Chains A and B, each alone.
Chain A
């Protein structure tokens, strides 16, 4: 159990870029990816902005050199691209040289195709192209990624709503620490669907403008899509292969808020437990955290609850903190993976990311997010929060070596 777990590769696809370099570039330019949708077929097309990946399914398939006649869910396509980048970035040429696992995560799986199927199916249950429904379940995209990369030793999928991929990363690290695996590709993926759009819209938590996390006048979230994967490797094989290390995954914690199916408790009770568990696992004091990449969705409830939790855990020593969701949108089950990639980028590039669109201090909070990009700053420890429906709260801590 003494083994440490290191990050050796990252891969990302999101509204602000189709690789970690493109994403970093957008962050440096303070360029948000939130705009009206080009691809989603919805009555809200001209009304609600999204953090959409700027490629059609056909273009995504071409990037993967997949025959365009093959029907693959957008979720699987996004996941395959990000996982492939992570593997390449980690310079893994031979997947079977070490016990390798894939732990992926998604909230709605292949729903982007299921809703096409259902339009015909509900009128007549003998209709609807079956090709559009076989990728519905959460395991489908994971198996597509595993098959493309040749991963066989262990694969699974976690689905805990918006904390899904943070939980995948945590489970991946634990599999390595327990000596079940040497290497894990962990993260998650979700695509924008009418299902999630209408779900959040019906809950009246979608901002019609670009979202404004931690702002007094915030008015909801922007739905996003994408995938983020990181490669985790054990100390054992890193020493053997003399690999470049990006950073260490030092701490993690998961807790249940046990307050309400969708709302977070006013004092962020579950979030406090998750952050404290992660700090304890990392053996770090709160004041040693340099940057918090907050869950910060932009909904009135989340930002107040998370803000209170940060105040409780960090008291008078509040680190720099921001939400990057005004860049990417809320990518649901992918957000933990995408924000893990961003956390690694912060450490590697000595950056602290701005909380775009912040203007007005929240009256109920004493803390203020970072407004401008901070460059040339040593970032030793980043704490990343991901919170999901059902009060599922997860915190990861990434640390410089």
Chain B
């Protein structure tokens, strides 16, 4: 397999992640928030106000984080743009749907329809960069970002690209929050998201994010990390199968469980879904530094992109911030980081990052 490195990152999230000065020192706390929303930057650095007014929030966040990522990597135009999004451009979809109903299908404004397609973000980036390369968007629940990453790995293996802009983007709106709340996805009681794992009740906290990564096949001391492998598996019947998937994934990468320096887990505070993570921390990862992240960004389809941002920063800075530590293990040299995440026990994924 071709070696693939992360050269640049642009991450808009509910935390102060967009300035790329390492993992933020200050943790943002939203004591009364029902769901976690991104801290939006001042867009005019990259997007002209005229254009900005026509774009929905998720398109602006996507474009801004993509541009931040490219700037950090000092790449003007990538060979390919590949994104994952669970729900795509929700705000525009809702806007158009609502106008159809309220106006009884007459005299509608086409703009929200035009920008409602799931590939609007990657299309707008290609337009902005005048990039004629390969342009794909995956939209499959908890496999959206993972599929985009797998496609990127194939592109490098096929020698079809030297640089790829990879993104994971999802937005939360009041309506999607209300609907998924009724579906039982979120906690009903008032919580502090920073104590997400303490409640042991049903439901998680909703979130959103836009994380872009510039992937390259060029080694460089300044690279964040090496991406070694991704594996997605669907509806495993029991925890034994999950454990086997993890062990076989590591062995395919010539690693044993003991070689994993940090295991980043998708713990989201929902007692119906966290059990497998606790089991792993007590069994195969009992001697491993375990970390979690969804108390910082919330739960969403492409939350594993926030985990990848976290892993890349740990490898680059050789530092695990206290706020993400699940257990207390002595600090060591961090070489191999495994991310294990699942979306509602349906879409499971493993990601291996190693030091560059």
Contacts and interface: CB of A to CB of B under 8 A. Distances in A.
Contact of A178 (B86, B109, B124, B157): B157
B132 A258 contact: yes
B101 A254 contact: no
Contact of A261 (B115, B157, B182): B115
B105 A390 contact: no
Contacts, number: 183
B123 A202 contact: no
Contact of B98 (A122, A130, A257): A122
A276 B108 CA distance: 39
A262 B114 contact: yes
B88 interface: yes
A255 B122 CA distance: 12
Interface in B92-137: 93, 96-98, 100-102, 104-106, 108-110, 113-120, 122-124, 126-127, 129-137
Nearest to B122: A390
A155 B140 contact: yes
A167 interface: yes
Given A125-B178, A203-B113, A137 B139 contact: yes
Nearest to A160: B119
Q: Is chain B's binding surface mostly helix, strand, loop or mixed?
A: mixed
A201 B100 CA distance: 11
B175 A121 contact: yes
B118 A159 contact: yes
Interface in A366-390: 388-390
Contact of A171 (B97, B130, B151): B151
Interface string A171-196: 10011011010000000000000110
22 contacts: A42-B105, A43-B104, A121-B175, A122-B98, A137-B87, A139-B86, A143-B141, A157-B138, A159-B118, A160-B119, A171-B136, A180-B154, A198-B105, A203-B114, A254-B136, A255-B134, A256-B133, A261-B114, A270-B132, A388-B117, A390-B117, A391-B127
Interface string A77-108: 00000000000000000000000000000010
Contacts of A159: 88, 117-119, 137-139
Given A125-B178, A171-B151, A175-B154, A261 B123 contact: yes
Given A174-B154, A261-B127, A270-B132, A115 B137 contact: no
B302 interface: no
Contacts of A175: 154
Interface residues of B, number: 62
Nearest to A255: B132
A392 B106 contact: no
Interface in B40-92: 81, 86-88
Contacts of B124: 261, 390
A71 to B, nearest CB: 14
B189 interface: no
Given A121-B175, A156-B147, A159-B117, A139 B127 contact: no
A254 B134 contact: yes
Interface of A: 1, 42-44, 107, 109, 114-115, 118-119, 121-122, 125-126, 130, 133-134, 137-139, 142-143, 146, 152, 154-161, 167, 171, 174-175, 177-178, 180, 194-195, 198-199, 201-203, 254-262, 269-270, 273, 388-392
Given A125-B178, A133-B179, A160-B137, A119 B118 contact: no
Contacts of B144: 139
B98 A118 contact: yes
B242 interface: no
A122 B140 contact: no
A160 B140 CA distance: 12
Given A133-B179, A159-B88, A202 B109 contact: yes
B140 A194 contact: no
B28 interface: no
List 4 A-B pairs, minimum CB-CB distance, nearest first: A390-B123, A199-B113, A159-B118, A157-B140
A128 B179 CA distance: 9
Given A178-B154, A256-B81, A158 B108 contact: no
Contacts of A202: 108-110, 113
Nearest to B1: A178
A130 B81 CA distance: 35
Nearest to A178: B154
A204 B104 CA distance: 17
Given A261-B115, A269-B132, A256 B105 contact: no
A159 B157 CA distance: 23
B255 interface: no
